[in-house]
Structure 1
Amino acid sequence: MNEEIGPSAWRLTKKALTKAKEQQVAAIIIRMNTFGGMVDYADSIRSAVLNAQLKTIVFVDHNAASAGALIALAADKIYMSKGASIGAASVVNPQGEIMPEKYQSYMRGLMRATAEAKGRDPKIAEAFVDPDVEIPGLVAKGKVLTLTTAEAVRVGLSAGEKNDVAGVLAAEGLSGAELTEHQVTFIDRLISFLVSPAVSGVLILLIIGGIYFEMQSPGIGFALLVAVVAALLFFAPLYLEGLAAHWEIGLFVIGIILLLLEVFVIPGFGVAGIGGIVCIIAGLVLSLVTNDWFDFTVTASEQISSALLLVMGSMILAIAGCVVLGKSLLGTSAFQRLVLQDEQRSQLGYVSGRQKEVLVGKNGIAKTDMRPSGKIEIDGKWYDAVALDGYIERGSSVTVEKQENYNVFVRRQNT
């Protein structure tokens, strides 16, 4: 465990514990060097280590700070290398600023309960979080406790100082044991990469941008493919990490459907469109944070705010980029390869196989909403038409103003 405590570390721990249980091992050793991470994932790892039905050992190889200290306390034994440290578990925000008391209170409770579960001094565990806890000869009031290897051994928190895993095995009477190291696979690394905030932001940008371009040019299909692939890359890793649940993904899909209905079926922009946008944002945000049907007990409000800012920022950038760069993108050589550019002009000898009847001046009925294109009916026949007014409601009376080859242009009749 030599990384920030987060989704990747949680997934690694789950897989390692499952594998250890299947192989019926004598003990599992977590070699730790971390400066901490997210409280909710640290709590999940802590619970898994506490409930593991086998001997658990943490070997602190340099650092077990903050969330790392919480996990270490959940193990049956703690060993530390020379020059290592453990502690400093106050809850801070991404900028390193101390969080309000309610977060510190929650963390103190976790630390105290974990220490008690393993027969360790809960006051020491609490001093890792609370600067108001004073322990004579160890930490003065106003300071958060961090223990060196020697100090941890002296107060009984650590079982001893060891130079490496072999020394830990020897101390536990397992010198002749077969040691299996849990390997981080390419898939594990790929998932860790995809769930990083930066990559998640880019994927959200591609999802929104793809949907926008598909609505602007629905006949191309390439933009929709980009949006679908980006959505799969966004939700699949989060689902595997246990973050995105079925209902959160379903909420996102419902939002897309509502938005499409608003654009192509329901006239104007109202409840369906607003509801669709809300569902899309909610599905994306909720997939990024730990919750159980909106129960955010172990999720700090800052994490929810960060997820919301990530989603909203990515969506705003996507829409702004589409509006500003849309025309430029359509004119690039790379994009032109995706669409047909050849024109069959009458001046070059291209003519249609049959001449369409003259419709100019005739009256008809709009059979669909025209936005501006749609269907009209004239003398019992249906035609594709374009509204010169921009938008004509279904059932309105229309008049054909002009006809260019197979394109029919109409206006709403004045009442």
Structure 2
Amino acid sequence: MNFQNRLPVSLLFLFILSAVLISPAMSQESGSVLVLEISGAITPVTDDIVADAISIAEAEGHQALIITLNTPGGGLDETLRITEMIPQTSVPVIGYVYPEGTQAWSAGTLILISTDVAAMAPFTVIGSAQPVSMTPSGSEPVTDTKIVNALVERATENARMHGRNETAAREFITENLNLNAQTALDYEVIEYVAPSMEDLLVQVNGLDVKGSTLQTAGSDIVYYEAPIRLAFMNIISNPVVSSLLLLLGVYAVIFGISNPGFGAEIFGVVAIVMALIGTGFDVNIGAVFLILVGVALLALELQSPGIGVFGIAGMVCIVAGSILLAPTEFPRNYSPAEFQRTVVVTVVVPTILVGLFLLFAMYKVLEVRKRKPQFGGLLGETAVVHKPISPEQAGYVIHRGEYWKARSPEALEKGEKVVILEKDGVMLTVERLRSEAGQAGKE
């Protein structure tokens, strides 16, 4: 009887003990982290994507937001806005240069040292944050102390905020310093080196960030997916894509003006609008003016007779405008010179190729304009009988790939060569070629 009375008490004790032992493990496995992947250039829409990811992390209660960085750099204004968002959110933000073998240069480095927790995968590189400007002969570092000192102070303050190496933060800009993952860890630029996302979550588990303790070991990894609007904007805001859209739109407008009725001009206007939206409407006005003048000159060349001067001048304007329009100037873009040169080549080369094609087409048009009328030019030339001809019934001959109806005072068989004597509308009068006639006589 006593045993029966003690059984429920024993079961209750075991239940409480199990709950106490199991709850820590459950707390470690509960929760999730949101992962935002930044791959490619930092564009005018990147800061909107980061803001959206932060709002989702806050609304859905994720333990942390992990921003993976694999970028050559990008827009400075967008980069500064991103670094301002990080301390304003209550969600811990972890910067992670990932995957192995990638890099987070210039703007990516500034974002990394501004995050609450900084990590890198093995064999990754950060640095090259010195601003450069493109010149006709290549690239030159920006030495304006007003610009450089402002960037240096902002970077060192962000490093100081998180207890990181301020000297390295300064030299990223002033000395173009580059560091691999292990060196960055040794120099206290970052806190962790992790080969995988799961390993990173285990390493930061138990870390106190922004007043909360991370329990990330075994947490669910949720990858951020941009809404359709931002995903589309992310595509067209790529410097290469937006520039090519603008050029495609320009040439479509030219084609539409010269060949009305196909709707190419409408497509061109849409492409131009998308390109301007993609660049945030922050375009070089002089470059746009040059391109518009070039379009007008090409349209004038195509619509009225000339000697090609308008066409050549139009192509010069479009090429010059394209070079000026390529988004490479500091401080709008904050990218290594190699990336800027890639953008220039991607934008300018198609323009030159299309320009050469248009010049060739205008040359052919000019040839046609100068060519004398061909009426009567058929006389004396040779043709080949395609359908037998007799004095009573006309047949057909082939002259330079064209079929002509023909008559002859003599019978001619298929394959015989003939000389064109007269042209009466679409009817030719022919006779057997003399060499052919001589050979037939001998036979």
Query: TM class, shorter-chain normalised?
Result: 0.5 to 0.7
Aligned to 1:99: 140
Retained in 2: the 8 A contact 1:90–1:98?
no
Once the two structures are TM-superposed, the CA of residue 59 in structure 1 deviates from its matched residue by 1.9
Task: Decide which of 269, 274, 290 is 1:236's aligned counterpart.
Answer: 274
Change over 3 Å in CA distance of 1:17–1:256 after alignment to 2 = same
What letter is aligned with 2:70?
N
Gaps of 5+ in 1: 132-142, 330-415
Task: Decide which of 113, 124, 128 is 2:154's aligned counterpart.
Answer: 113
Structure 2 length-normalised TM: 0.50
Retained in 2: the 8 A contact 1:104–1:129?
no
Task: Decide which of 66, 75, 87 is 2:105's aligned counterpart.
Answer: 66
TM-superposition CA deviations, 1:230-263 (whole Å, max 9, x none): 3423431541452457989996998699779989
2:186 pairs with 1:160:
no
Q: Give me the CA root mean square deviation.
A: 5.3
Aligned to 2:169: 125
Which runs of structure 2 are paired with 1:107-256 in the superposition (5 Å)?
Answer: 109-119=150-160, 120-131=164-175, 144-149=177-182, 151-162=183-194, 163-164=196-197, 165-167=200-202, 170-172=205-207, 173-175=213-215, 179-184=221-226, 194=236, 199=241, 203-217=245-259, 220-222=260-262, 225-244=263-282
What letter is aligned with 2:264?
V
Change over 3 Å in CA distance of 1:167–1:248 after alignment to 2 = farther
Which of 1 and 2 has greater Rg?
2
Cα separation, 2, equivalents of 1:85 and 1:318? 38
Once the two structures are TM-superposed, the CA of residue 75 in structure 1 deviates from its matched residue by 1.4
What letter is aligned with 1:102?
T
Greater Cα shift, 204-213 or 187-196: 187-196
Retained in 1: the 8 A contact 2:129–2:173?
yes
User: What SS does the corresponding residue of 2:48 show, helix, strand or coil?
Assistant: helix
Cα separation, 1, equivalents of 2:348 and 2:97? 39
Change over 3 Å in CA distance of 1:100–1:129 after alignment to 2 = same
Change over 3 Å in CA distance of 1:18–1:156 after alignment to 2 = same
Change over 3 Å in CA distance of 1:171–1:231 after alignment to 2 = farther
Identical aligned pairs, as a percentage? Answer: 19
Structure 1 length-normalised TM: 0.52
Retained in 2: the 8 A contact 1:81–1:161?
yes
Greater Cα shift, 228-237 or 248-257: 248-257
Gaps of 5+ in 2: 1-36, 208-212, 366-443
Of structures 1 and 2, the one scoring higher in RCO (CA 8 A, sep 6+) is 2
Which runs of structure 2 are paired with 1:11-410 in the superposition (5 Å)?
Answer: 11-21=45-55, 24=58, 25=61, 27-34=64-71, 36-38=72-74, 41-42=75-76, 44-52=78-86, 53-54=88-89, 55-61=92-98, 62=100, 63-67=102-106, 68-91=108-131, 99-100=140-141, 102=143, 106=147, 109-119=150-160, 120-131=164-175, 144-149=177-182, 151-162=183-194, 163-164=196-197, 165-167=200-202, 170-172=205-207, 173-175=213-215, 179-184=221-226, 194=236, 199=241, 203-217=245-259, 220-222=260-262, 225-244=263-282, 289=327, 297-299=331-333, 317-325=353-361
What letter is aligned with 1:236?
M
More helix by share: 2
More strand by share: 2
Cα separation, 1, equivalents of 2:170 and 2:47? 25
What letter is aligned with 1:100?
P
Cα separation, 1, equivalents of 2:122 and 2:342? 38
Retained in 2: the 8 A contact 1:58–1:75?
yes
Greater Cα shift, 14-23 or 299-308: 299-308
TM-superposition CA deviations, 1:342-378 (whole Å, max 9, x none): xxxxxxxxxxxxxxxxxxxxxxxxxxxxxxxxxxxxx
Change over 3 Å in CA distance of 1:105–1:80 after alignment to 2 = farther
Retained in 1: the 8 A contact 2:129–2:172?
yes
Change over 3 Å in CA distance of 1:252–1:171 after alignment to 2 = farther
Cα separation, 2, equivalents of 1:261 and 1:201? 21
User: What SS does the corresponding residue of 1:51 show, helix, strand or coil?
Assistant: helix
What letter is aligned with 1:73?
I
Cα separation, 2, equivalents of 1:144 and 1:31? 21
Cα separation, 1, equivalents of 2:344 and 2:256? 25
TM-superposition CA deviations, 1:130-177 (whole Å, max 9, x none): 44xxxxxxxxxxx9352533x433433222334424225524333266
Once the two structures are TM-superposed, the CA of residue 48 in structure 1 deviates from its matched residue by 1.7
Retained in 2: the 8 A contact 1:85–1:146?
yes
Retained in 1: the 8 A contact 2:113–2:158?
no
2:37 pairs with 1:5:
no
Cα separation, 1, equivalents of 2:343 and 2:190? 37
Retained in 1: the 8 A contact 2:242–2:278?
no
User: What SS does the corresponding residue of 2:357 show, helix, strand or coil?
Assistant: helix
